A = this chain, B = another copy of it.
């Protein structure tokens, strides 16, 4: 399976650069993606080498593209609750939530990590859509007293089995010991940061949210220095690792056309005790059920490379019934894995399918998510 089509890309002033840009170039980054109107590293030297470094040591990702929507003001808690189907009455200060943002018709606007930094202080750490515009639209007639803005915040992810050592060396035991989906605010010798125990890998991992873009190089260098004993290196986000973990890529795997009930593993995120926009629409979906579903799939054929260049049709009994939206090769499972949209009747694990790759048909079978359970030992490659 060949790598995706590539071409020469010219940078331009309309693509914002991260505060770490210069360091990613120096660290050997060779290709970037566009995400939230910014450049994000997508390949340094080799996706397989980067994958193994992530799962065996520790990797540093420039994810400044995770832009924050900051909501503050007397009505911040009530307003933020309007935006997401998670029940925020059960969200403590310094707690995080995987918090899908829901449109009036139940569609997914974005699937950020929500950070509650204070009683009246929230961040939505965005996937790739301009969800701040959604919040501003809601503000127009919600009649609530809130301030909505994009603060000067640029996250790094420190992910992998040695990430805890790196964070301990930088911030001490308490921060290194953060429970999953908890966060801490403070500074690193005067560099203002928030640190959360979250990430896009299923590995042990942390995010460091830099709160002053002018100090990006300084922070990057501090993290690299602290990580040296643990073999830290700059890598790109790993499509393989996030697929193993059953993590989604908004705008690709699911869009505003889909509700959380359409996506395996997101159903549990709809907490109907809360009052939020789109709740009635989701109640209707819940009672009627969905007609199609995003599910895991294992695929035959040669090892896939990198990521899909385009969606592939999915056939059952010779008829096109859905599409493959993500797929790559799990180097640990030694198996091609991905996500397919299928009619609900074909959503059960173990359903035989055929996907139409540009090189011909490939056998496929639906599978439970995640492919790798983070709470169990994983096979060594």
A positions within 8 Å CB-CB of B: 3-15, 17, 30-34, 37, 42-43, 82, 103-105, 109, 128-143, 249, 251-252, 256, 277, 306-311, 325-326
Contact = CB atoms under 8 A, between A and B. Distances in A.
Contacts of A256: 132-133, 136
A6 B9 contact: yes
The copy count of this chain in the complex is: 2
A13 B309 contact: yes
A320 to B, nearest CB: 14
Nearest to A253: B14
A70 to B, nearest CB: 14
A252 B13 contact: yes
B137 A37 contact: no
A306 B9 CA distance: 13
Contacts of A103: 133, 136
Nearest to A309: B11
Given A133-B137, A277-B140, A31 B8 contact: yes
Contacts of A249: 14
Given A6-B9, A13-B308, A104-B140, 4 more contacts: A103-B136, A133-B137, A137-B137, A137-B138
Contacts of A7: 8-9, 11, 30-32
B309 A252 contact: no
A34 B31 contact: no
A3 to B, nearest CB: 7
29 contacts: A6-B8, A6-B10, A7-B8, A7-B9, A8-B8, A9-B31, A9-B32, A10-B306, A10-B307, A11-B310, A13-B309, A13-B311, A14-B128, A14-B249, A17-B310, A37-B128, A103-B133, A104-B136, A104-B139, A105-B136, A109-B136, A129-B130, A129-B133, A130-B133, A131-B133, A135-B137, A138-B138, A140-B141, A141-B143
The 7 A-B pairs with the shortest beta carbon distances in the complex, nearest first, are: A137-B137, A9-B9, A141-B141, A14-B252, A130-B130, A133-B134, A34-B34
A118 to B, nearest CB: 22
Contacts of A82: 140
Contacts of A33: 12
A249 B14 CA distance: 9
Contacts of A37: 128, 251
Contacts of A30: 7-8
Contacts of A277: 140
A326 B13 contact: yes
